[in-house]
């Protein structure tokens, strides 16, 4: 190949030479494939109001779920690489700005609704700035934010996709700005679901129910564990749900005869262990849809009849769960719900234990989001929140594991409304 040939290939695109541009071949409404532009604009308006309330002039989001939440951006297979830094700048006085690496320009232009995009490139041949930091700082200055209050993602729980060193470089490059945590704004907004988000979950959860039922009903003695996963994934494809990141895949937990008194995680799909009579455990997690997670749980036992102690735990866990959700109302705090669940778990002669430090959580672009129904969470429950409540009774010896149902509930003015999955909450018999 000659030097001139290389030059042509670096400046032309095959589709353009054929007289067809990508822009002409894709309808405008497909630019934000997961949700309408109006939904994003609503979120930006609400974000601006919250920024003003918190005294923050602008915030910068790096986390995958937050870039998708505010801008629709999908990173595809490059998600975990540190080489391709992207962010969205949301300010009170301007339209949002997207700063991204040009290798993923197709992802940027075809998945985000944001029109003001600033590109950098690690490939010098493309004659763009070669450092994310340079383009980012220029954008901040263009927006008049150099001496303002800027919120950054400092807190845990975001998968923020930026290192501590890079955050320090940003702060040092803008010495006149005052940097604060953007987390209070982000989580305050994401806790309350929009009408579009609630409608999405109403669409998603019947699909999730069919996926889980297909998997649970395939659990039988003599069946390799990988076949259960195969059945789950097959149903995901059938429901058109196999367009999500790997951490949205269902997780299957098993315990039982192979290691008495202990449970083990069976997430990897390649396990050849054969399911045996007497195995017990729980299936927990869910599948993703349009950037949103789901999370439900049911416990199971492999056999024709529950052993007496597990039968008791099945009933106690079901009743503790239902008694808890029936008494949750807006205005209660996360810690209040925890105390309520604790009371239900220990009531009468049950004398069992709460195995984890919370009895529920919110959900969205991540499986676990605030508020948490935990002993130290003071967040008041408000209409529009979606909660994954998980309350149950477990045997302290872990031989008879117990029962802890989990469903997704919408907080309304009157209490909780079940949205989607409505499956029996006793321990499932798999035979």
Q: Is 122 found in the same domain as 86?
A: yes
Are 152 and 268 members of one domain? no
Instruction: Place 249 in a pLDDT band, splitting at 50, 70 and 90.
Output: low
Q: Based on the fold, state whether residues 168 and 259 are members of the same structural domain.
A: no
What mean pLDDT comes out for the span 297-315?
A: 91
282 shares its domain with 259: yes
> H-type helices in 192-293, by residue range?
195-216, 225-238
Stretch 257-279: mean pLDDT: 66
CA distance 250 to 236: 10
CATH code of residue 93: 3.40.350.10
pLDDT of 318 higher than 80: yes
Segment 150-159 shows an average pLDDT of: 76
Which of 190, 210, 233 represents a domain boundary (last residue)? 190
Q: What's the CA gap between 431 and 415, in Å, rounded?
A: 37
Cβ proximity of 132 and 101 under 8 Å: yes
Q: Residue 9: which pLDDT band, with cuts at 50, 70 and 90? A: very low
Specify the CATH number for the domain of residue 341.
3.90.230.10
The arithmetic mean of pLDDT across residues 39-66, rounded, is 95
State residue 53's pLDDT score: 97
Domain of 72 in residue numbering reads as 3-190
Are both 400 and 306 inside the same structural domain? yes
Q: How many domains does the chain have?
A: 2
Do 51 and 185 belong together in one domain? yes
Q: Is residue 376 located within the same domain as residue 278?
A: yes
Same domain, 167 and 286: no
User: Which of 139, 166, 190 is the C-terminal boundary of a domain?
Assistant: 190
Residues 38 and 60 both lie in one domain: yes
Say yes or no: 302 and 378 in one domain: yes
- Domain-ending residue, one of 190, 205, 234: 190
What percent of the chain has pLDDT above 70?
Answer: 78
Please write down the long-range contacts of 112-115, taking CB distance under 8 Å and 24 or more positions apart: 112/31, 112/32, 112/71, 112/72, 112/73, 113/31, 113/32, 113/37, 113/40, 113/71, 113/72, 114/71, 114/72, 114/88
In contact, 120 and 134? CB cutoff 8 Å:
yes
Model pLDDT, residue 20: 34
Handedness of CA 419, 47, 79, 81 (dihedral sign): negative
* Residue 269: closest CA among 228, 297, 215: 228
Average pLDDT, the chain: 82
- Please give the average per-residue pLDDT across 293-316, as a whole number: 91
- Contact in structure between 151 and 182 (CB atoms under 8 Å): yes
**Residue 198 or residue 63, greater confidence:** 198
144 and 238 inside one domain: no
Task: Tell whether 54 and 171 lie within a shared domain.
Answer: yes
């Amino acid at each position: 190949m000659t030097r001139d040939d290389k030059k042509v290939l670096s400046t032309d695109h095959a589709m353009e030479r054929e007289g067809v541009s990508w822009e002409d071949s894709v309808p405008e409404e497909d630019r934000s494939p997961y949700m309408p532009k109006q939904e994003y604009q609503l979120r930006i308006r609400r974000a601006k109001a919250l920024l003003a309330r918190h005294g923050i002039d602008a915030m910068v989001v790096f986390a995958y779920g937050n870039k998708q939440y505010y801008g629709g951006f999908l990173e595809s297979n490059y998600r975990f690489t540190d080489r391709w830094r992207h962010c969205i700048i949301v300010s009170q006085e301007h339209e949002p700005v997207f700063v991204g690496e040009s290798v993923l320009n197709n992802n940027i232009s075809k998945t985000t609704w944001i029109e003001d995009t600033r590109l950098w490139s690690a490939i010098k041949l493309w004659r763009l700035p070669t450092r994310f930091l340079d383009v980012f700082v220029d954008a901040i200055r263009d927006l008049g934010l150099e001496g303002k209050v800027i919120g950054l993602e400092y807190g845990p729980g975001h998968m923020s996709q930026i290192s501590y060193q890079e955050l320090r470089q940003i702060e040092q490059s803008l010495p006149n700005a005052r940097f604060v945590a953007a987390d209070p704004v982000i989580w305050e907004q994401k806790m309350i679901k929009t009408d579009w988000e609630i409608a999405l979950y109403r669409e998603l959860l019947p699909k999730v129910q069919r996926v889980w039922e297909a998997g649970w009903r395939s659990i039988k003695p003599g069946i390799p564990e990988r076949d259960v996963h195969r059945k789950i994934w097959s149903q995901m494809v059938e429901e058109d749900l196999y367009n999500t990141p790997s951490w949205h895949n269902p997780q299957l937990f098993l315990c039982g005869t192979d290691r008495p008194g202990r449970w083990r995680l069976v997430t990897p799909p390649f396990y050849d262990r054969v399911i045996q009579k007497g195995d017990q455990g729980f299936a927990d997690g869910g599948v993703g849809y349009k950037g949103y997670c789901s999370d439900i749980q049911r416990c199971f036992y492999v056999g024709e009849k529950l052993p007496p102690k597990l039968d008791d735990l099945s009933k106690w866990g079901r009743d503790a769960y239902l008694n808890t959700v029936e008494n949750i109302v807006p205005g209660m705090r996360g810690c209040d719900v925890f105390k309520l669940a604790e009371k239900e778990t220990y009531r009468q002669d049950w004398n069992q234990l709460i195995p984890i430090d919370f009895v529920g959580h919110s959900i969205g672009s991540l499986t676990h989001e605030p508020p948490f129904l935990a002993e130290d969470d003071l967040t008041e429950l408000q209409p529009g929140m979606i909660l994954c409540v998980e309350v149950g009774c477990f045997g302290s010896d872990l031989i008879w594991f117990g029962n802890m149902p989990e469903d997704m509930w919408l907080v309304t003015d009157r209490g909780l409304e079940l949205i989607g999955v409505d499956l029996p909450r006793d321990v499932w018999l798999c035979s």
